[in-house]
Amino acid sequence: ELVSMIVNHLKRQGLFDQFRRDCLADVDTKPAYQNLRQRVDNFVSNHLATHTWSPHLNKNQLRNNIRQQVLKSGMLESGIDRIISQVVDPKINHTFRPQVEKAVHEFLATLNHKEEAGPSTAPSEEKTDVSITVQGII
């Protein structure tokens, strides 16, 4: 329950949206993305080269077939893993973790403040356990 409360707090602050924007802003500049895009473009071009255009060509069926072939090839999985390692991984310790830790500490401070303001039914040992649990999460 505590973890979901913290996650909801992070969402309300827009932290996940900010992380998503930061990562998406960097994606197209990374070699892994450019490489994957080139590989998919080449794959699609080669696939289309085997088809003769006609007015009766079912474009939706052709598009779905290409999509399935790209997915079967496995190039997306490996390419996305490389993109994550180039875009997300470098930001984890230097950008994301400090911001998440700060937000969690602020949340816990407000949680502790609310507990202190209201009647406390929980023994102090349980409060300590909550802090230890949160430190294990971060």
Spans of all domains in the chain:
2-137
Residue-wise DSSP of 66-124:
HHHHHHHHTHHHHHHHHHHHHHTHHHIIIIIHHHHHHHHHHHHHHHHHHHHHSPP-S-H
- Per this entry, what is the length of the chain? 138
CA atoms within 13 A on the CB side of 47: 16
Measured between alpha carbons, how far is residue 72 from residues 68, 69, 77 in Å?
6, 5, 10
Arithmetic mean of pLDDT, 86-104:
94
* pLDDT recorded at residue 136: 52
Which residue type sits at 75? M
Q: Percent of the chain at pLDDT above 70?
A: 85
Token pair 């069926």 is at which residue? Answer: 61
Distance CA 69, CA 107 (A): 47
Arithmetic mean of pLDDT, 81-101:
94
- pLDDT of 100 above 70: yes
pTM: 0.66
- pLDDT of 133 above 50: no
Q: What would the pLDDT profile of 108-117 be if each residue is shown by its tens digit?
A: 998 888 777 7
